[in-house]
Structure 1
Amino acid sequence: MKGYTIQELKVGDSATFAKTVTESDVVTFAGVSGDLNPVHINAEYAKESMFGQRIAHGMLSASFISTVLGTQLPGPGSIYLGQELKFTKPVFLGDTVTVTCTVVEKNEEKNRLKVETIARNQKGDAVITGFATIMPPKA
C-alpha cells in the first residue's frame, strides 16, 4: 500500500473516516496519554461540569485526523508536519465523529500540502476545525 504523491493529488481531493467513540476508547486513551482529567473518566464529577456528562478527550477525536492523513490522503509514507486545531464542541461517549480532510493548497517545489481538517458529530456539528501541513510520499 502506498500513499499519493503531490503530483497525484489536486486541490479539492478529500477523504473521510468515521468512528463512534466508546467507553473503551476514552479509558484506553486516558491510560495511554496519562490524561486522567475526571471530566473524561469520572461520571459523578462530569455530571457537575459545564457539560453535564463525560466528554471524550479532544485529542482522541483529533487523532482521527491522523488516521485519514496516514492511511488515505495522502496515505502511507506521508509525514504529518503540523496541525492547527480549534475544538468547537464537546464529543460525548456514543457520538460518531466523522473527519474530512481536504487538500486546499499544494506546493510541489517544497513537497507540502495544506489540508483543511474538519471533524463533525452525528448531528453534523463541527467539533474540531483546522488545517494540517503534510509532506506526501515521494514517487
Structure 2
Amino acid sequence: MTAETAAYAFEDLQPGMTASLGKTISEADILLFAGISCDTNPVHLNEEFASQTMFKGRIAHGMLSAALISAVFGTRMPGPGCIYIGQELRFKAPVRAGDTVNAHVEVTETVPEKKFVKFRTWCTVGDKTVLDGSATIMVPARG
C-alpha cells in the first residue's frame, strides 16, 4: 500500500471520517474525457460556441469532477474492493481548464446488515463548492 492508496474494512469506518484528493484539470483531461465518455457537447470543446453560453467560455464536463469522487473511494477511503451502490450529484458551478478540483468524502452513516457506508460527497475549486452530493458504497468486511 502506498501513501496514496488506503484500504479500510467496513468495521474501520465511522461517521465523521474524511478523505480527499486534488487534481488540476488540464485541456488534455477535458479532451480525453470527451473521447472516453462520447460527450462532445461544444460547451466543453468549442470556445466560440461556449463563449455564447451562460458560462462565457469552455467548461469541463461535470462528470469529470464526479469521477474524482470515485477516485477518492477507490484509492483513499474506503479503498480497493469497495463497490458503488449509488450517487446523487448537484452541479453548483463550472470547472475550467487550469482549475484545481478537490474531491472530498465524509462518512455519514454505516449500515451493518448490508455492509453499506453512506457518504457526503463534494468538490471544491478554492473556497467554492462546484459539486455537492451523497453516495452509498458497499465495503468489504474484514476477513
Give the TM-score normalised by structure 2: 0.93
CA positional deviation for 1:65:
0.3
CA positional deviation for 1:92:
1.1
Contact 1:3–1:136 (8 Å) recurs in 2: no
Aligned residue pair count: 138
- Partner of 2:55 in structure 1? 51
- Partner of 1:103 in structure 2? 107
Unaligned runs of 5+ in 1: none
Identity fraction in percent: 49
CA positional deviation for 1:5:
1.2
- The question of 1:65 aligning with 2:55 is answered no
CA positional deviation for 1:106:
0.6
Deviations 1:57-81 (A, max 9, x none): 0001100000000111100000011
One-letter code aligned to 1:30: A
- Partner of 1:125 in structure 2? 128
Give the TM-score normalised by structure 1: 0.96
Counterparts of 1:75-94 in structure 2, within 5 Å, are 75-94=79-98
Contact 2:119–2:134 (8 Å) recurs in 1: yes
Deviations 1:9-44 (A, max 9, x none): 111111000001110000000011100000000011
Contact 1:76–1:137 (8 Å) recurs in 2: no
Moved over 4 A (4+): none
One-letter code aligned to 1:50: M
